[in-house]
Structure 1
Amino acid sequence: MILDGNQRGGARDLAIHLMKPENEHIELHEIRGFMADTIMGALREAEAICRGTKCVRHLYSLSLSPPETANVPVSAFEDAVQRIEEKLGLAGHPRVIVFHEKNGRRHAHCIWSRINVGTMTAVRMSHDRRKLADISRQLYLEHGWKMPEGLIDPDLRNPFNFDRKEWFQAKRAGKDPRDIKNALQQCWAASDSGPAFRSALEARGYWLAQGDRRAVVAIDINGEIYAVARWIGLKTRDVVSRTNDIVSLPSVAEVRGHVSRLVREKMAGFVDSVTEEFIRAAQALESQRIALVEQQRKARRELHATQEIRAIHEGRQRAKRFRKGILGLWDRVTGKQAEIRKENELATAASARRDNTERHALISAQLLERKHLQGEIAEERRAHVRQLAQLYREIGVPSRDVAPAESSQPKRRRRHRHSWN
Structure 2
Amino acid sequence: MILKGSQRGGGQDLARHLMKVEDNEHVRVHELRGFASDDLKGAFKEAEAIARGTHCKQYLFSLSLSPPESARVSAAQFEAAIGQVEEKLGLTGQPRAVVFHEKEGRRHCHCVWSRIDAETMTAKQMSFFKTKLQGVSQSLYLDHGWDMPRGMLDKAARDPTGFTLAEWQQGKRQGVDPRWQKLIIQECWKTSDCQRGFEAALESKGLFLARGDRRGHVVVDHDGSVHALSRMLDLKTKDVRARLGDGADLRSVDQTKARIAERMTPAIRRHVAESKAKFAETAKALNDQKAEMTARHRRARVRLEAEHKAQWQAEIRSRSASLPRGLPGIWQRVSGQYQDMRRRNESAMAALWQRQADARQALIDKQLSQRAALQDRIKALRDEQARQLRELRGEIGRFLAFTTGRDGPAREPSRARQPERGSGRQRSRGLRLER
TM-score after normalising by structure 1? 0.80
- Counterpart check, 1:157 vs 2:158: yes
**Partners in 2 of 1:258 and 1:177 — Cα distance?**
24
User: How far did 1:36 drift?
Assistant: 0.8
User: In 2, Cα distance between the equivalents of 1:157 and 1:372?
Assistant: 27
- The answer on whether the counterparts of 2:279 and 2:385 sit within 8 Å (CA) in structure 1 is yes
* Cα distance, 1:369 vs structure 2: 1.2
- Say if 1:229 and 1:239 are closer, same or farther in 2 by CA, change over 3 A: farther
Q: Could you tell me whether the CA contact under 8 Å between 2:194 and 2:244 is conserved in 1?
A: no
Summarize deviations over 1:241-300 as a string: whole Å, max 9, x none: xxxxx98x9887776445323433432222232333333333322222221111111111
CA distance in 2, matches of 1:229, 1:310: 59
CA distance in 1: counterparts of 2:145 and 2:219, whole angstroms: 44
Is 1:17 matched with 2:17? yes
Aligned to 1:263: 264
Query: 1:6 aligns to what?
Result: 6
Aligned to 1:57: 58
Show the counterpart of 1:277: 278
Matched-pair contact (CA < 8 Å) for 1:60–1:112? yes
- Give the AA of the match of 2:46: E
Question: How far apart in 1 are the matches of 2:251 and 2:167?
Answer: 24
User: What is the distance in 1 between the residues matched to 2:77 and 2:187?
Assistant: 41
Quote the RMSD (CA, aligned, Å): 3.7
Are the counterparts in 2 of residues 262 and 395 from structure 1 also a CA contact under 8 Å?
Answer: no
Mapping 1:62-101, distance limit 5 Å: 62-101=63-102
Deviations, residues 91-135 of structure 1 (Å, cap 9, x unaligned): 111111111111211111111111111111111111111111111
1:103-252 to structure 2, matched below 5 A, reads 103-160=104-161, 178-190=179-191, 200-207=201-208, 219-223=220-224, 236=241, 238=243
The superposition leaves residues 189-218 of structure 1 with CA deviations (integer Å, 9 ceiling, x where unpaired) of 456999876654333113467999999976
For 1:99, the aligned partner's letter is F
Instruction: Rate the CA distance shift 1:175–1:53 in 2: closer, same or farther, 3 A.
Output: same
Please state how far the C-alpha of 1:6 moved relative to its aligned partner: 1.3
* Residue number in structure 1 paired with 2:365: 364
Work out the CA distance in 2 between the residues paired with 1:131 and 1:237.
Answer: 36
Contact 1:55 / 1:122 at 8 angstroms: preserved in 2? yes
Instruction: Describe the shift of the 1:74–1:183 C-alpha distance in structure 2 as closer, same or farther (beyond 3 A).
Output: same
Matched, 1:338 2:339: yes
The TM-score with structure 2 as length reference comes to 0.78
**How many Å apart are 1:73 and its aligned residue?**
0.6
Task: Sort the Cα spacing of 1:97 and 1:213 in 2 relative to 1 into closer, same or farther, 3 A.
Answer: closer
Q: Taking structure 1 as reference, are residues 335 and 211 closer, same or farther at Cα in structure 2, changes over 3 Å only?
A: closer
| Aligned equivalents of 1:340, 1:285: Cα separation in 2 | 55
Corresponding position of 1:410: none
Which structure 1 residue ranges, 5 or more long, are not aligned? 241-245, 403-421
Quote the offset at 1:231 in angstroms: 5.9
Instruction: Give secondary structure in 1 for the equivalent of 2:398.
Output: coil
Q: Distance in 2 between matches of 1:162 and 1:342?
A: 55
1:332 is displaced (CA, Å) by 3.8
Matched letter for residue 17 of structure 1: H
Instruction: State percent identity of aligned pairs.
Output: 44
CA distance in 2, matches of 1:271, 1:15: 40
Structure 2 letter corresponding to 1:355: Q
Q: Could you give the per-residue CA deviations for residues 24-49 of structure 1, whole angstroms, max 9, x where no partner exists?
A: 11111111111111101110011111
Aligned positions, number: 397
Checking the alignment, whether the CA contact within 8 Å between 1:219 and 1:256 is kept in structure 2 is yes
| Counterpart secondary structure, 1:100 | strand
Code of the aligned partner of 2:180: D
Residues 266 and 395 in structure 1, CA contact (< 8 A), matched pair in contact too:
no
Structure 2 CA distance, aligned partners of 1:298 and 1:157? 40
Residues 263 and 283 (structure 1), Cα distance of their counterparts in 2 relative to 1, 3 Å cut: same
Amino acid at match of 1:374: Q
The 1-side partners of 2:231 and 2:13 are apart by 36
| Range that drifts further, 298-307 or 199-208 | 199-208
| Residues in 1 aligned to 2:34 and 2:304: alpha-carbon distance in whole angstroms | 28
For the pair 1:354 / 2:347, whether they are aligned, the reply is no
**In 2 relative to 1, CA 280–325 (structure 1 residues): closer, same or farther, beyond 3 Å?**
same
**Matched letter for residue 123 of structure 2:** A
Q: What is the Cα deviation at residue 72 of structure 1? A: 0.4
Return the letter of the residue paired with 1:59.
L
Q: What is the SS of the residue equivalent to 1:71?
A: coil
State the SS of the aligned residue for 1:396. helix
Instruction: Provide the C-alpha distance between the structure 2 equivalents of 1:28 and 1:166, rounded to a whole number of angstroms.
Output: 30
Whole-angstrom distance in 2 between the partners of 1:393 and 1:196: 16
Q: CA deviation at 1:168?
A: 9.6
Residues 328 and 291 (structure 1 numbering): CA distance in 2 closer, same or farther, change over 3 Å? same
* Partner amino acid, structure 2, of 1:127: F
1:33-90: CA deviations, max 9, x gaps?
A: 1111110111001111111111111111111111111100111111111122222221
Structure 2 spans left out of the alignment, 5+ residues: 408-435
